[in-house]
Amino acid sequence: MKTLQPRIVLGITGSVAAYKAAELARLWVKSGIAVDVVMTGAACRFIAPLTLQALSGRPVWTQMWEGAQDGMQHIALSRGAQAIVVAPASADFLARVAQGRADDVLSALCLARECPMFVAPAMNVQMWTHPATQRNVARLRADGVNVLGPDSGDLACGETGEGRMLPPEAIAAAVATHFAEETAFGALLAGRRVLLTAGPTFEAIDPVRGLTNRSSGKMGFALAQAAAQAGAEVTLIAGPVTLPTPPGVARIDVTSAQEMADATFARIDRVDIFIGVAAVADYAPAAPAEQKIKKEASESLTLMLRPTVDILAELAQRAPHVFRVGFAAESQNIAVLGEAKRRRKHLPLLIANRAQDAINADDNEVILLDDSGAHPLPRMDKSLLARRLIREIASRWHQWKKTNS
């Protein structure tokens, strides 16, 4: 069976360091990687596209519509590529990508990508240290972009400080290390079965009304995707959300807390790890009305509520052989209340966050709580956080198995 040649898209922006991109292309081609070069108009003023074409042996793209029969080359170039690497990345380019701009072929390609992205900044020291640039870089990191460098030293403008593009060898090595780590990530949970719950539950008051909460399900779905990427066989029990099912994940849709509990208990004996991310309602109407309750202007409405099944607490009794991870969304005293919940429900690991900051947000900041104490993680995009949490869970699961085998 023929193995496909790996391919990298090399983006070049307007910087004196553009000449270093030629050596970067040469290094990759020499190691058997196909290189598609995409240049901005400013980059073409520093180095000729013909130079990169000669080194890569492939066409160099400089205009949005050139060479594309269907006008979609700015999308198609990233499909099947292992990475997009922009080196050098100017301050202007970083700003445009951080804002989600797509006004030239390179920025459009970055916005439409399905692959990892790396940027190697190159600029004057004042431009690099300016608060605006630092905000843009922080946004890119939060969006999952890998920022390589810059180095410190003598700059082309005659000044000294941070802003030099990393040497081509260092960039190539960093990209290679990233993919080696990705390969390792893909084996973290290989052959293991992971069961997750995500989203809110909906407890009926009558046929049209109910009690629910504002959970979006984003964190649970991101964790399901990350677990699948780590090689696990993943089943996701989802409350009423409209999120797409992550690739490689088996999804079971439920509505109420009882339905979520039933689906969990029916599958728990066949899994290695359970991750309870769902915001399960603590209470449900004791006697839901069979018909719609009519509003009476002169009367108040009293609802009798009953506790719902406590899935995490039940699992401590039903499945002590399963590594159980819980989530806690607290509005205050996060670590203290989270640790109390962890001990009360006999969990090896609990992940606590501030409810006000996490609900419906695309990023999150959490504290990991286990027998050794509290371990805070910095705020980051939920997709990145999910991968970090899967690493943490896999590490603890391996140790837990040794201790409990």
Number of residues that make up the chain: 405
Distance CA 237, CA 250 (A): 9
Angle at 286 between CA 282 and CA 291, to 5 degrees: 120
Residues 6+ apart with CB under 8 A from 268: 195, 274, 315, 318, 319, 322
Listed residue (38, 36, 50, 41) closest to 12, CA to CA = 38
> Helices (H), strands (E): how many in the chain?
14, 22
Looking at 44, 110, 115, 157, which residue is catalytic? Answer: 157
- 157 given a catalytic annotation: yes
**Distance in Å from the first CA to the final CA of the chain:** 41
Answer yes or no: are the C-beta atoms of 59 and 35 closer than 8 Å: no
Distance CA 165, CA 18 (A): 9
Strand-pair category, 373-376 with 366-370: antiparallel
Listed residue (376, 381, 290) closest to 339, CA to CA = 376
Instruction: Give me the long-range contacts of 149-155 (CB less than 8 A, separation at least 24).
Output: 149/120, 149/121, 150/120, 150/121, 150/122, 150/123, 155/124, 155/125
Distance CA 53, CA 338 (A): 57
- Indicate which residues carry an active-site annotation: 157
